[in-house]
Amino acid sequence: MYYKVVINHTSRGVDETDDDFRKFDTTDKDFSTLPLALDFLKKQGYASKDVQKEPMYIDYKGKEKQTGWIFSFINSDISHASEKWVQQDWVEIFVMESKRIDNWKI
């Protein structure tokens, strides 16, 4: 058993309030324990007071089920000529268990 953190990175321009967010990257990392996965997220800055956090939901059997968090923040870097953008990272953690299938054939 291990833990998989999946982060879907999305963004839009700071002045594009009516535009949809666009996905630009996915981070997929495996950890042997949940505390290691949570520590990774803290080191990525998701625990910062400058990051807004709201729950992420799916429809599960006709009911809402919280499956993760959406972290929102203003971002910028030198490769974008100092232009800033709004970034939303959709973060989920999965428990991964493997089970061998015996006696299979092609």
Question: In degrees rounded to 5, what are phi and psi of residue 86?
Answer: -90, 130
- Domain ranges (residues) in the chain: 2-96
The C-alpha atoms of residue 74 and residue 45 are separated, in whole angstroms, by 12
Residues of the chain with pLDDT under 70: 78-82
Q: Which residue, among 104, 72, 89, has the nearest Cα to 6 in the 3D structure? A: 89
Structure pTM? 0.85
Chain mean pLDDT for the chain: 92
What percentage of the chain has pLDDT greater than the value 90?
Answer: 75
Q: Distances in Å between the alpha carbon of 24 and those of 12, 74, 76?
A: 10, 15, 14
- Per-residue pLDDT tens over the stretch 48-68: 988 999 999 999 999 999 999
